[in-house]
Every structure is written in C-alpha cells, then in structure tokens.
Structure 1
Amino acid sequence: MSQQDGDDLGVWSEFGTAAGMTVRDLAAGGEAPGEPHTGLGDRPDLDGLPPVGATSGFGSAPSSPDLAEAIRGAAPPKGYHNRVDADGDGHLDKATYLGDGHGGAEILVDLDGDGRADFVGHDTDLDNRVDFADYDKDHDGFFEKRMYDDNNDGLLDRAEWTHDS
C-alpha cells in the first residue's frame, strides 16, 4: 500500500507534477526543456519487408491479395490489356491488371466476389498469354495451385499443388 500525503487525489497527487514544474520554471524566466514529443513515435518495422502494396508480385505471396489494395499498386504497362477465362467456364472474367515490377503484367480475378483475388495470372513477356497462374481454389485466402504454360501456346499445361493442399 502506498503512502498518501493527505490530499484528495491519493496516489494521483503526483499526476501533472512535471507539467507544473515546467510552467513554474517558464514563469520564472527559465527555458523550456526542449521540443515536446507527442504520440507514440514512428511505427517500428518488425519484419524488414516492404509495406503491403508497396510492391507487386502477388502471385508469389502466400495469400490472396485484396483487390482494393492491389488497385493502389503498380500500374499496368502502358497499353496492356488482356482477357482471361480464369474459371474455365467459357466466359471472359472481369480482371484487374497490374505491372509486376519486372517488365511483365499480373492479371487478378476475383472469382467469388469477396474482394480478394482467387486467380493471379502472370504474363512475364507481355505477349498477352499467361505464362503461369496461381489459384486459390477453395477461396480461403491462400493459393493452393500454380499452373504453367510450358509450350507458350496460351493454355496452361501443368499444375503444381502446395504441400498444404
């Protein structure tokens, strides 16, 4: 139990002492103790990675990108426009196009309408053919499948599944 000095504030009686001393010193013609600091300071960088949305490369990420965040990412290469049928239903899907930061483009498609990409196609040479694509097949936010166009004919030929699928 702490000792109280008899005032009404109890243990809170010391609250504001530093501010009171600063005001007293300034009133007596003293100098301010320096520039005041407010807030909690800069946000620490805990992982050393670039901030989300600062770079592209979503297909290599372990989880599906948020399309709203992706739109704020890298602009697609000038004049680039591609069309994809990401779900294979015979109809072209609405897509978001981004630059990949390496001279290619990424094609993001939200197949289930939840605001997250379930398909990310990578056109590494801007020939309007997807060279490889990542799929979130069960719409859980993680890509389980990657398909490759091995012979550059515009059709994805080979699939690799992650160890967690």
Structure 2
Amino acid sequence: MARNDGYEDLGAWSEFGTVSGMVAARTTENLTEAEAHTGFGDRPDDLDGLPDITVGANVAEAVGALDAELSPPPPKGYDNEVDADGDGTLDEATYRGRLDGGVDILVDLDDDGRADFIGTDLDLDNRVDYADYDKDRDGVFEKRMFDDNGDGFLDRAAWLHPGS
C-alpha cells in the first residue's frame, strides 16, 4: 500500500486507520439510516450509582449532587443564620460540612431547587468568610464576595468568570 498520510513513525497503524476509514465510508454509502449502526449498542443500565452526566446536562448540577453526597455533615450544633439576598429577612438555609472542617451554607433564593448562594464559614465562627452568588439564577455562580475584616459583612466582590 502506498503511504500518503505523512506519518512514517506510526508504521502499520497509519495504514490500518486509513484503510479502515475508507472501507467504512464505502460500506455505509449505500446503506439506509436504519441499516447503519454506530457499534456502541444500547445504553447500559446505571452500574455505578452516581448521578448521570450526559451531553447537554448541567455538569455543575451533577457535580454539586455528588459533592453533597460525599460531604461530611455540619458540626453538631452549628446554626448560622444568613440574609443571602440582602432584603433584611433571614433566609432558609441548608448546612453542609466541608472536608477542611468548615461549613457551606446553601440558600435557594428562587425556590427552583438549586442553591443561588453558597456561603462558606471556614473557622466555624458563624460568620461567612466568602460567598458565591448566582446573580441571574442560571445555575452558574458569577460572583464571589469576601469578608476581608472578619466582621460578618461581605466587603469585596470578584467576578468568577471575568470577561464573560
């Protein structure tokens, strides 16, 4: 077979790839769509028990669900209160332990089942050290605010995805 792929160091594998591609293309030219198969077969049942991650799925949601399953519980007796949206009333929160010993405080501000605010208390002093916000409620956290002086109020903001 004449070599025309320019990959001299691949040896027989370059010919195999070229020939198999040509055969596949010629073989399927005259087949109807119902006759042509990809070779992957039907999707198998769930074997790992982890959340599905499929093309088009919100990967952040899947990662969040897995993280929630693997996170330790918050320390016994931990009870922080937050006003995540700044309207002057305390918001209902879910507390989740962190592997570093801190606590994440999750608030679903628009009742869509996803957290729009995640405050992090690293030292368990019942003050949020930093918080991530999903400002437009699309499932992507755009902004992080920091309590630089430890007074319990978030002083400074940074965009998580600059230029987007």
> TM-score under structure 1 normalisation?
0.59
Is there any run of 5+ residues in structure 1 with no aligned partner, and where? 1-38, 45-50, 53-61
Greater helix fraction, Structure 1 or Structure 2:
2
> Aligned pair in 2 of structure 1 residues 113, 120: CA closer, same or farther (>3 Å)?
same
CA deviations 1:35-82 (Å, max 9, x no partner) are xxxx959858xxxxxx66xxxxxxxxx846898777644311111110
Partners of 1:129 and 1:136 lie apart in 2 by 20
Aligned equivalent of 1:83, options 81, 84, 97: 81
2:19 is aligned to none
> Aligned pair in 2 of structure 1 residues 77, 164: CA closer, same or farther (>3 Å)?
farther
Give percent identity, aligned residues only.
Answer: 61
CA deviations 1:101-137 (Å, max 9, x no partner) are 1110000000000000000000000000000000000
Are residue 145 (structure 1) and residue 139 (structure 2) matched? no
How far residue 95 of structure 1 moved from its aligned partner, in angstroms, is 0.2
Partners of 2:115 and 2:123 lie apart in 1 by 22
Partners of 1:77 and 1:99 lie apart in 2 by 7
CA deviations 1:13-40 (Å, max 9, x no partner) are xxxxxxxxxxxxxxxxxxxxxxxxxx95
1:57 is aligned to none
> Aligned pair in 2 of structure 1 residues 96, 151: CA closer, same or farther (>3 Å)?
same
RMSD: 3.0
Greater C-alpha Rg: 1
1:127 is aligned to 125
Partners of 1:136 and 1:82 lie apart in 2 by 21
CA contact (8 A) 1:64 1:143 kept: no
> Aligned pair in 2 of structure 1 residues 142, 40: CA closer, same or farther (>3 Å)?
closer
Aligned residues: 112
Is there any run of 5+ residues in structure 2 with no aligned partner, and where? 1-42, 52-58
Q: Secondary structure at the match of 1:147?
A: strand
> TM-score under structure 2 normalisation?
0.59
Partners of 1:115 and 1:41 lie apart in 2 by 26
Larger RCO: Structure 1 or Structure 2 (Cα < 8 Å, ≥ 6 residues apart)?
Answer: 1
